[in-house]
Amino acid sequence: MNDEVRLIEVRQDIHADNDRAAEELRRRLAAQGTFLLNFMSSPGAGKTTTILATCERLSEHFRVAVLEADIDSKVDAEKIAAAGIPAVQLRTGGFCHLDAAMVAKGLDALDLTGIDLVIIENVGNLVCPAEFDTGAIKNAMILSVPEGDDKPLKYPLMFSVCDVMLVGKIDYLGLADFDVERLRGYVRRLNPKIEIFEVSARTGAGMDAWVGWLTSEIAAYRRICLD
């Protein structure tokens, strides 16, 4: 098992460097009052659709930009840009997560003048993105109903590092053997402080409660930064 030992040592190194870069990024964004939200999930859980529906509801109050990340392709950034929202696509070229340096590079490519909120759509992966601080103020995740309610047992770190979880695609409830109360129990045992919202970006169900929470978080952050 020599491979494992060697990999862990390098990881610790990288994590210390990354933590410093994340802190620096948070200071840079606080100086201008820009809130950074990191969105994570499995592939196909509905991040892009949920981000679009969230931006639409936030546009009354805030100016929003989106940083898209994928191993390859730029289809998500194109979808966001088509809705009139400034977007940049980061191609990680094989990397399974974003780190703070990659996010900083992406932000350099966006014009942040007057931007109140940047949403990061991280690589679709319930494992690696949870290990890297991106410099975000809040970590959000989506667990979609078709994925099953047992995922906190299998990917505990992701559920532990998030400030808020969206239970997504709730229009699929009833089709799947998915028990929201069982899920809430698993998640709260890992992370008693997490906020949980049940949503469907497609039907709009639950979106107002989630966006209301986000709005008050952004407003509170901006009061602290800009006062």
Point out which residues bind a copy of itself (CB under 8 A): 1-4, 6-7, 10, 13-14, 17-18, 42-45, 70-73, 75, 94-96, 99, 101, 105, 123-128, 131, 144, 146-148, 150-151, 153-157, 169, 172, 175
Taking the complex as a whole, the smallest distance from the CB of residue 98 to a copy of itself amounts, in Å, to 12
Say whether 19 sits in a helix, a strand or coil: helix
| 96 vs 225 by CB, closer to a copy of itself | 96
Q: Which residues contact 98 (CB under 8 A, 6 or more apart)?
A: 38, 69, 90, 92, 120, 122, 123, 129, 132, 134
**What is the DSSP-derived secondary structure letter of residue 1?**
-
* DSSP type of residue 67: E
Alpha-carbon separation of residue 156 from 83, 138, 151, 191, 218 (angstroms): 34, 18, 8, 9, 27
> Among 159, 149, 80, which Cα is nearest to 118's?
80
Nearest to a copy of itself of 62, 95 (CB atom): 95
Q: Which residues contact 15 (CB under 8 A, 6 or more apart)?
A: 131, 132
Closest CA to 92 of 120, 117, 119, 116: 120
Please compute Rg for the chain using Cα positions: 17
Q: How far is the CB of 142 from a copy of itself (least distance, A)?
A: 12
Distance CA 75, CA 65 (A): 16
Comparison of 10 and 224: residue with beta carbon closer to a copy of itself: 10
